[in-house]
Structure formats: structure tokens, C-alpha cells
Amino acid sequence: MQPLATATRLRILLGRLLFDNFWVILGFFGRMHPLTMARIWGLRRTRNIAYGQEDPAQRLDIWQPLPTGEPRPVLLYIHGGAFRILSKDSHWLMAIRFAIRGYVVVNINYRMAPKHRFPAAVQDAALALHWLHAHIADYGGDPNCVVFAGESAGGNIVTALMLACCFVRPDAFARDVFALGLVPRAVLPACAVLQLTDPHRFHQLEPDLWSLLQDRLDELPGDYLGETAPTDSTFFDPILLLESEVLPDRPLPPIFAGCGTADPLWHDTVRLGKALLKRGVVHRTQLYPKQFHAFHAMVSGKAVRQYWRDQFAFLETVGLPAKRLRHKPLT
């Protein structure tokens, strides 16, 4: 048995090295693409603003389009990374894409597992939302027109944050969020993992699932929740509340959720669509054939471009801007 246990540990280590470093390397090389340069779009980036004082991770960047005289819509972006890796700096491409469409983007870091387990990440997202509500007007943003977006673990967090805006829950951070009276104009949870407490469901749904991927999914509950999950799963299994009969205290906002079919998390996107349909929520859930996890984070590609076209078209249908800024020629 010992050789098998050793082989399993080595497989898990290899998977971590492969998956953890893939996105870091992708972000590094993506910066070399000329159209990812903030200056040619006239964007201003303000870095490392403190939204909390408890931990150095509680920092955010703001990406501002040129002012127009009217407040711009705001987008709060929360990065993925299995609740334990990556950062706002690895997810600059997501921020710049929304800023190019006219949003003042608030791109945050948050405390990460396993050092900081649940509810640290969603508490930090709530704290960043309070900061946004109080200060974003100073950066040309409209605090009454806010979109939430995030992918993977970040998709879980933005969905949880939406629930705190719309349902009265007993958690102190959730009560404070509800008291803001802010409901996002739209929520964009991309390739989100929406139920942490049953990672084995993916293997049951896809028996041929690559073991390195299943390892990553199996690690999520222990890393983020610890040995024993809290009784109330609202803010780490948000799909369960959405699938329940509990009515929101405020109407749920429009939701766009996309995922590739080569990503096992597409099953959660389908569940989300069914739950929203049953509740009568304006939404679009879109699957992209043969695309891998978070494929839309790539700089280019046919499916990548289609994802972003679909997402911005949805935002337009719910009355939010999606017109692309003009870029200046490189000199």
C-alpha cells in the first residue's frame, strides 16, 4: 500500500505544479500582446489600494477609462485559483477587457486558503464591496451601477456575494452587505464551482475524468473549508440555496454564466441555469464545445472572442454598456 500512497502524493504534487504554474505563465506571456497595454487604450491603473487593514492581501487595483463627465458603471472582479493561488496581478487581462468596454474595474486580492479558510475570502469580497460603495465615485464610477464578475473560485465568491445582497442571512458580514441596499446590475460567474462539499460528483458524472483534474477538485473542501464544513452552506455551496424553495428578500439580478465542455465544472453551470429558470431570473448559461477551464482568460482564439461577445451582448440586453473604446496606434 505504501508505494501506491507515495505514487498518489507524487501525482497530486505534479498536478499542483502543472495547474498552478500554467496560469502564472499564461499571464506573463499575455502581457507581450500589444493590445493588452493599458496606455494605448487610455486607461489609468491605480495599484494596491487598501480596502482593509487586517491583512496585506486586502488590496485592490482600479482600472479607469478616460472620464466622460458622467459616472461610469463599475465592475468588481474576483479572481479564481482554487481559493489558494493567483491574484489580481495574474488576472489583469480580465480587468483590462472590462475597462476597454467602459467599466471602472475594481480588481481585488483576498486572503487565501489554506492559511485563511472560509469565510475569509467572501468576507474580504464583502469588505471590498463596502470600500467600492464608499469610494468609487472618486474614481469616476457609479456606486449604484455595479456588476460582479469572477471565474472558477471567483465565480463561487461573486455568486455568494450576490446572495448576501439579496437574501437576509445571519452571518455578520452578510448582514452588513444586505444593509448597503446594493444589488448588482448583473453577475458574471464564469466556469464557477458552485458546490464545494461534493467534489466527487464530477467523477460520477464523468467517469473518465483525468485524475490530475479530480485531484484538484478533491482538494477544494479541505483547503477552503477545513476538516468540518460549517452547517450553513450558503456562502460556499451557493447553488444549493438557488436550487431551494427559499425566496429572496430582494429580486435576483440578471446572470450570464459560461463554461467550456472540456471543463468538468460545466455541470455546475447547467445546474445554475436550471435553478435560475425555475426562479424566473433573467439569465443566459452558455456552453462552449471542447473548451478547457477558464479558456476565456486566454488573450485570443475563436472561442475566446465568442465568449466575450456573448457576455457583452448579454450586458447590453440588460441595459449595461458594451461599446469598445478606441485604441491609439502604437508609436
Residue 188, C-alpha cell as written in the block: 458574471
What percentage of the chain exceeds 90 in pLDDT? Answer: 75
Q: What is the pLDDT of residue 69?
A: 82
Q: Answer yes or no: is 327 within a domain.
A: no
- Which pLDDT tens digit goes with each residue over 33-61? 555 566 777 899 999 999 999 999 999 99
Q: What is the pLDDT of residue 146?
A: 98
Mean pLDDT (the chain, rounded) = 89
- Which pLDDT tens digit goes with each residue over 266-286? 999 999 999 999 999 999 999
Q: What is the pLDDT of residue 220?
A: 92
Read off the CATH number of the domain in which 184 is found.
3.40.50.1820
Q: Answer yes or no: is 324 within a domain.
A: no
Q: Answer yes or no: is 202 within a domain.
A: yes
Whether residue 22 is predicted with pLDDT greater than 70 in this model: the reply is no
Q: What is the pLDDT of residue 309?
A: 96
Residue 141, C-alpha cell as written in the block: 464610477
Q: Answer yes or no: is 325 within a domain.
A: no
Q: Answer yes or no: is 267 within a domain.
A: yes
Q: What is the pLDDT of residue 4?
A: 42
Mean pLDDT of 285-308: 95
Q: How many domains does the chain have?
A: 1
Q: Answer yes or no: is 331 within a domain.
A: no
Q: Answer yes or no: is 322 within a domain.
A: no
Between CA 84 and CA 64 the distance in angstroms is: 28
Judge whether 291 and 260 are in contact, CB under 8 Å: yes
Q: What is the pLDDT of residue 273?
A: 98
- Residue 124 makes CB contacts below 8 A (sequence gap 6+) with 51, 52, 57, 58, 108, 110, 111
Q: Answer yes or no: is 311 within a domain.
A: yes
Quick one: pLDDT band at residue 31, thresholds 50, 70, 90? Answer: low
Q: What's 323's DSSP letter?
A: P
Q: What is the pLDDT of residue 326?
A: 63
Residue 58, C-alpha cell as written in the block: 486586502
Mean pLDDT of 150-166: 98
Query: Which residue range forms the structural domain that includes residue 142?
Result: 2-317
